[in-house]
Amino acid sequence: MAKKSVATLQTGSKRLTKAIKMVKSPKTGAYTFVEAIMAPEMVNDFLNKK
């Protein structure tokens, strides 16, 4: 299960996006958040990956 939260960051000439995904731990069943900063084109791949 993934919850999508995307923010656009501007640093000089590069355009970056911060994506936050909520992931359920198979061991405990608790949810954790995974954050990554990447190019906007890679966000869908990050969110669809388990």
pLDDT, tens only, 1-50: 556 666 666 656 678 889 999 999 899 999 999 999 998 899 999 888 86
Q: What is the pTM of this model?
A: 0.62
Report the amino acid identity of residue 35: E
How far apart CA 12 and CA 14 sit, in angstroms, is: 6
- Token readout for 15 is 């355009």
Q: What is the CA radius of gyration of the chain?
A: 12
